[in-house]
């Protein structure tokens, strides 16, 4: 068999195996999961779509990245972003430590049990705070700082770097409480502009993501990938019906080779082999 045929067999088998496994897992985990087996079939088809000629898919990702993400920020901007983020994370950590200590004190002799019960909650809050701080710093630094224009912008960025590290060094519980009160007042005054910038940021990010996905799809799409998508989805459905992901993977491979070798190439003559 040709190299393309083996590629399609592998893609369809992998997609059908993955889709059947997901469908069976969904059906076993939820009370009405059996009604959502098609989610597994869809995921299996997507895996096969990507796996068919994976090198071309990677090339499509690179191609779309270069076409959609055109700006390259100034290196000092990244340093300023990191310094400000570190400072805010240090301050946020101090606040969380103060809150946790106050809760433990109120628990009296049961503070070990309280610490054990709230460990996951504290960890979740810390992770959310880290991501939130990064978003705030990203929005707070003006767009003009992302590029090297002149010495004035460079001086502003160096000031941002210095102030960020100073906050990180001085972030203690008392200092954080002071900055928290001051920050709340600043937030009240600037909340309208922050909301406007946040909405603008989300809109730009959504448009960029849509352009990126569309660019990848246009660059890599082919009839062969569509065939893999369909056969892998059918294989995943068969695997779900038989209750076995292995059966689904085998069915996807068989459907892929039959659909490509006999239906598309020999019967309908819709797909032509390459000379690779």
The answer for residues whose C-beta is within 8 angstroms of residue 148's C-beta and 6 or more apart is 74, 76, 154
More confidently predicted of 113 and 276: 113
Pick the most confident of 108-122, 133-147, 238-252.
238-252
Mean pLDDT of 230-257: 87
- Kindly state the average pLDDT of the residues 4-9: 78
Q: Which two tokens stand for residue 2?
A: 């040709």
CA 244, distance to chain mean position in Å, is 30
**Percent of the chain topping pLDDT 90:** 0
Give the pLDDT mean for 232-240.
89
User: What percentage of residues in the chain have a pLDDT greater than 70?
Assistant: 78
User: Which of 75-79, 229-233, 247-251 is predicted least confidently?
Assistant: 75-79
Burial class (CB in 10 A: 0-12, 13-18, 19+), 246: middle
pLDDT confidence bin for 275, thresholds 50/70/90: very low
Distance, C-alpha 260 to centroid of its chain: 33
Q: Which residues, including other chains, have CB under 8 Å from residue 114's CB and lie 6 or more apart?
A: 103, 104, 107
CA dihedral (65, 71, 76, 82) positive or negative: negative
- Per the prediction, the chain carries an average pLDDT of 77
**Which pair of tokens denotes residue 195?**
């909301």
What is the distance between the alpha carbons of residues 140 and 148, in angstroms, rounded to a whole number?
Answer: 18
pLDDT band of residue 216 (cuts 50, 70, 90) is: low
> 275 or 190, which is more confident?
190
**In this structure, are residues 222 and 235 in contact, taking their beta carbons and an 8 Å threshold?**
no
How far apart (Å, rounded) are the C-alpha atoms in residues 37 and 219?
Answer: 30
Q: What is the pLDDT of residue 276?
A: 37
Question: Using CA atoms, how far apart are residues 227 and 52, in angstroms rounded to an integer?
Answer: 10
Using CB atoms within 10 A of its CB, is residue 276 exposed (0-12), middle (13-18) or buried (19+)?
exposed
């Amino acid at each position: 068999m040709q190299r393309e045929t083996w590629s399609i067999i592998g893609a369809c088998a992998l997609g059908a195996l993955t889709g059947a496994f997901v469908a069976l897992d969904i059906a076993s985990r939820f009370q009405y999961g059996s009604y959502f087996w098609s989610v597994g079939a869809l995921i299996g088809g997507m895996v096969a779509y990507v796996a068919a000629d994976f090198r071309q898919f990677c090339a499509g990702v690179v191609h779309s990245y270069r076409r959609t993400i055109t700006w390259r920020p100034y290196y000092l901007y990244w340093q300023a972003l990191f310094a400000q983020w570190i400072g805010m994370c240090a301050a946020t950590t101090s606040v969380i430590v103060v809150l946790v200590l106050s809760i433990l004190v109120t628990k009296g002799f049961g503070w070990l049990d309280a610490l054990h019960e709230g460990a996951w909650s504290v960890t979740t809050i810390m992770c959310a705070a880290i991501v939130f701080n990064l978003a705030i710093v990203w929005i707070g630094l003006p767009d003009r700082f992302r590029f090297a224009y002149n010495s004035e912008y460079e001086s502003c960025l160096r000031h941002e770097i210095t102030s960020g590290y100073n906050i990180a060094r001085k972030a203690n519980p008392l200092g954080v409480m002071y900055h928290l009160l001051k920050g709340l007042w600043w937030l009240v005054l600037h909340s309208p502009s922050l909301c406007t910038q946040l909405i603008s940021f989300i809109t730009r990010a959504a448009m960029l993501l849509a352009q990126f996905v569309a660019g990848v799809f246009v660059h890599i799409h082919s009839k062969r990938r569509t065939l893999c998508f369909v056969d892998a989805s059918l294989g995943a459905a068969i695997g779900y019906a038989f209750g076995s992901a292995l059966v689904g993977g085998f069915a996807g491979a068989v459907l892929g080779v039959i659909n490509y070798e006999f239906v598309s190439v020999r019967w309908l003559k819709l797909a032509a082999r390459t000379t690779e």
